Structure 1
Amino acid sequence: MSLNEQEPLLSKISTGEPESHVIDDGLSDPVPSRNIDDDVLPETATYGRNLGWSGAYIVVISRVIGSGIFATPGSITKSVGSIGISLLLWVAGAVLAACGLSISLEYGCMLPRSGGEKVYLEFTYRHPRFLASTLVAVQAVLLGFTASNCIVFGRYTVYAFYGHDATDFAQKLVAASLMTVITVIHGSHVKTGIAIQNAFGWVKVVLVVSMGFAGLYVILFRPTATDLPASERQAFSWDDLWEGSNWSWGIISTAVFKVSYSYAGLHNINNVLNEVKDPVRTLKSVGPIALLTACIFYLLVNIAYFAVIPLQEIKDSGELVAALFFDRLFGNSIGKTVLPLAIAVSAAGNVMVVTFASARVNQEIARQGFLPYASLFSSSRPFNTPLGGLIVHYIPSILVITLPPLGDVYAFILDVEGYPGQFFALATTVGLLKLRKSHPDILRPFRAWLPVVWLRIGVCLALIAAPFVPPKGGKGDVSFFYATYAIVGIMIILFAVGYWYVYFVALPWWNGHRIEEETDVLEDGTSITKLVKVKNIEVS
């Protein structure tokens, strides 16, 4: 099917009508096509399109708003020195996030199907054959876990009821229980899981908005306290906003990275487009609106912190700025319960949408034939859910939650999880330029602005290089070499390349065979690709 035939297909997908990809020779039953070029075609998940606009918005905003807004503003303000720079950085973070969002929007509107970066890399980098798929599969198996927000949920839930007496075992038990319950819910009933994650998401939105308006209320209706000492005044005059500013590029860049991580996840809906109603139109509006609202929420919450808490206390708070906020609003006793539960709800909502999306990506990897027992993990049986993908996600998550001790080793594992993603982000961004040359006629309902693409490339390169810049004093936040996690992340990528070379190049050459793709259809209607060995025929 030619690229010029895509437009009517996109109109079909906007109504939710499944599109059948078939090769019909008139002599046999139609066979679905799994050719990589067909990734431009729309496809509906076997369990249907259950995500409307609001559900898609929650998948994004609940992924973006995690625990960062409750922890990072204090350290950011301390490093940059002033309220003005701190607020500017949250706006700058939104601008940088918009660069990444524009890349995912162009890809997602061009290739409107589940899988996200997996689809984009396979479509863009056809050669060497199977390399892109292998890299994505290795990352999914070795690094496809959701542990950080599970641990945050366990830590703050236990603290809310037992205080500092909680043991590491109790925290891990609660964290593992959350992961298990979410997996069971998403694996047994799709619509129930969506309803629950929507509820968590809206509670999170209401919580953040309430914090912001609490700060505005204080600014508008609190009488001027001129008799207070300077350290107790909340400064919002123009001069006070910039007092103590530190414009050092090293300090600013580090703070920008912290802010940028708080905007991560805007592309989460790209992973589940087979389940989104009217995917192209929804994608074009959900992403930008989620980014805009997240920026507004973050600014409101930061203003609330500055309005309620004296600036010096914010600088000294470290990761406890939200604790000071709730303490001043509700008092010490209630604040110690409200804050932990608020953070726990935020973390639980994050885990639900990450698990929801990761399971779909894992299922797409299995459908392409790059997981063992691919037919099992590709199937939607027995509950018409991506249970196989959930299992692939659940196992490494539970291992990371339960095995490493809380502390340096755990933080190290989380850093390893995120670092290789910067290489994938760089590859997709460069790939966008490559596709514009190799496939100039492909339908692009959204097109990223070229300067934004180049800025995104620069940001990716900076994040890749950042771990190797020696921290102040030559020692980071962990007890071992500060760049160890980056080195391990690079080694995982090299391992994937080595595995690809052995399985798809060396062994076929040695044994005289080649790897080919065959299409099959499972009993539930899922079309999959099988990788089969075909003996080379010698010509005499």
Structure 2
Amino acid sequence: MPADTVPAERHVLPRVLGPVAAYCVVVGCVIGSGIFMVPATVAHEVPFLGGILIVWIVAGILSGLGALTLAELGAMMPHAGGPYVYLRAAYGRLPAFLFGWTEFTIERTGSMATLAAAFARYFIQLVPPPDGIDGKVWQGLVAVAAIAVVTTVNILGTRRGSALQVVGTVLKVGGVLALMSLPLLLRRGTPANLAPAWPQAWNTSVVMAMLAAMVHVLWAYDGWINVTPLAEEVREPGRNIPRALILGMGTLIAVYLCMTVAYHYVLPLADIAAANDPQGKIEKAVAAVYCSELLGHPGVVAISMLVMCSTFISLNGNALTGPRAYFAMARDGLLPRALGRIHPRYQTPANAVLAQGLWASMLVVVGTAIVSGGAPDTVGESAGAMGWISAAWLKLHQTPLYDILLTYVIFGANLFYLLSISSVFVLRAKFPDKERPYRTWGYPATPILYVIVSVVFLGSMLVNEQSRVQALAGIGLILLGIPAFVLLKRSDEPTAAGSDSLA
């Protein structure tokens, strides 16, 4: 088929999203549970404020560099699928398929499961489990219910899903701004809490601790890429997608830095680090400790409601954006045809939305079974495979559902972000005359810096003992996509817009 073949009109999603919706997808997807939980982990790993701020700034700049680059690709190729489209145009069908495969099996669905688990983690503090139901099981049921709600909303209409995103983003950003202003309004906090600013000496262990903390901070920033899969449905994408990405990232970096400083202004660093609670008790989470210090018990209730709203809207953003990649893949003949169908009434990729929701729910069920199932009381000293398995199972059993799901998402996501950003070099070489409504600011330095920092970060995950297993598991999962590609691809489909071509 000709390289510029465009799919039939019945296979094209309608442009129903304006600039406000696009901006709220960026901001609303990113601000989830991270800023309410991650600062405690960062303070635990990096016990000095200067290093903490460096971690947040570097992660924000890295994400911002990615957003500046991706804005060019989204404006140039405004088709459903986002990174899938850019990877296929730059590198071909297999790398693009592996992105979609990993997105569906763990990255996007794992993010949804993680957000749903965070939502449930706060919900069960306000609505305790009924008699006879274990607390961990109750948390899993609530998480599955949250996924079911956002899946249903986004099947019923893209406008409905985007409207929920806009309203929810306004509410949660307003809530975060209110949290920041509390120390000033109540005249609480002291500059003495901002010490120590720097470590007594810089060494390799300090740098490695900062890189380990950055894994969690990048999770807090994760989601900035989400507007690009919706490009086919955004009006005037050449203008609105770059604006949404650039303004959205600017907002996020400012909000995260100000909120982090507010935490440390009110609470001593040791108290924030102690809020890195391995048992996941909400009243010990850093945002709850902060609000309790300022407002007492009503503050804990208020922060629980704010985090529930925040994570739910991020969950909705993933339900809105993620299925567009599977829809585009099916349209290109890389997934079953059913996933490429548009609902005749609601004009949504309903089957793709449903499939994503079902798999995310399955991840929650599996995670719940791990943390609520039986575990050995002690780990024997026996060597060999059985001793290793016993120790690993005990560690999983003692890890909150939220943390189990989070760690498996980060490596694969950042690997494909790296490939997507680097595709700007390939596409400029392959299609130099293609119209680009927006060109990456600072090119080629901007994408080069992103690539360098990403390589260092991914390498640190492989070196660090705490993240190595998850990183290797992520690589293994990606490689499993190769036989899946052979089994699932169809050779009888025409090339769709935004795949091999730049139509």
**Corresponding residue number in structure 2 for 1:328:** 293
Mapped partners of 2:326, 2:32: distance in 1: 23
Mapped partners of 2:338, 2:51: distance in 1: 53
Give the match's secondary structure for 2:42: helix
Give the match's secondary structure for 1:403: helix
**Corresponding residue number in structure 1 for 2:438:** 446
| CA RMSD after TM alignment | 3.1
**Corresponding residue number in structure 2 for 1:235:** 192
Q: How high is the TM-score relative to the length of structure 2?
A: 0.82
Q: Counting strand residues as a fraction of each chain, which structure ranks higher?
A: 1
**Are the counterparts in 2 of residues 82 and 246 from structure 1 also a CA contact under 8 Å?**
no
Where has structure 1 moved over 6 Å in runs of 4 or more?
41-45, 163-166
**Corresponding residue number in structure 2 for 1:7:** none
**Are the counterparts in 2 of residues 234 and 310 from structure 1 also a CA contact under 8 Å?**
no
Deviation at 1:142, TM superposition (A): 2.3
Deviation at 1:207, TM superposition (A): 0.8
Given the superposition, is the C-alpha separation of residues 82 and 402 from structure 1 closer, same or farther in structure 2, using an over 3 Å criterion?
Answer: same
Given the superposition, is the C-alpha separation of residues 380 and 446 from structure 1 closer, same or farther in structure 2, using an over 3 Å criterion?
Answer: same
Mapped partners of 2:286, 2:363: distance in 1: 28
**Corresponding residue number in structure 2 for 1:371:** 335
Deviation at 1:37, TM superposition (A): 4.2
Mapped partners of 2:251, 2:46: distance in 1: 24
Mapped partners of 1:141, 1:81: distance in 2: 37
**Are the counterparts in 1 of residues 156 and 348 from structure 2 also a CA contact under 8 Å?**
yes
**Are the counterparts in 1 of residues 165 and 313 from structure 2 also a CA contact under 8 Å?**
yes
The amino acid that maps onto 1:152 is A
Mapped partners of 2:303, 2:130: distance in 1: 14
| Match 1:464 to one of 453, 458, 464 | 458
| Match 1:82 to one of 18, 38, 48 | 48
**Are the counterparts in 1 of residues 193 and 268 from structure 2 also a CA contact under 8 Å?**
no
Q: What pairs up with 1:477-492 in 2 under 5 angstroms?
A: 483-492=468-477
The percent of aligned pairs where both chains have the same amino acid is: 25
Mapped partners of 1:348, 1:462: distance in 2: 32
Does residue 1:497 correspond to 2:482, yes or no? yes
Given the superposition, is the C-alpha separation of residues 69 and 414 from structure 1 closer, same or farther in structure 2, using an over 3 Å criterion?
Answer: closer
**Corresponding residue number in structure 2 for 1:196:** 164
Does residue 1:49 correspond to 2:43, yes or no? no
**Corresponding residue number in structure 1 for 2:388:** none
**Are the counterparts in 1 of residues 26 and 223 from structure 2 also a CA contact under 8 Å?**
yes
Q: Counting helix residues as a fraction of each chain, which structure ranks higher?
A: 2
**Are the counterparts in 2 of residues 213 and 300 from structure 1 also a CA contact under 8 Å?**
no
| Match 2:316 to one of 352, 359, 366 | 352
Given the superposition, is the C-alpha separation of residues 246 and 382 from structure 1 closer, same or farther in structure 2, using an over 3 Å criterion?
Answer: farther
Give the match's secondary structure for 2:14: coil
Q: What pairs up with 1:206-355 in 2 under 5 angstroms?
A: 206-218=174-186, 221=187, 233-235=190-192, 240=195, 242=197, 244=199, 247=202, 248-318=206-276, 320-332=285-297, 334-355=298-319
Deviation at 1:162, TM superposition (A): 2.5
Which is greater in Rg?
Answer: 1
Q: What pairs up with 1:131-150 in 2 under 5 angstroms?
A: 131-143=94-106, 144-145=108-109, 146-150=112-116
Please, which moves more after superposition, 157-166 or 265-274? 157-166
**Are the counterparts in 2 of residues 36 and 123 from structure 1 also a CA contact under 8 Å?**
no
Q: How high is the TM-score relative to the length of structure 1?
A: 0.76
Structure with larger RCO (C-alpha < 8 A, sep 6+): 2
| Aligned residue pair count | 453
**Are the counterparts in 2 of residues 69 and 298 from structure 1 also a CA contact under 8 Å?**
yes
**Are the counterparts in 2 of residues 43 and 274 from structure 1 also a CA contact under 8 Å?**
no
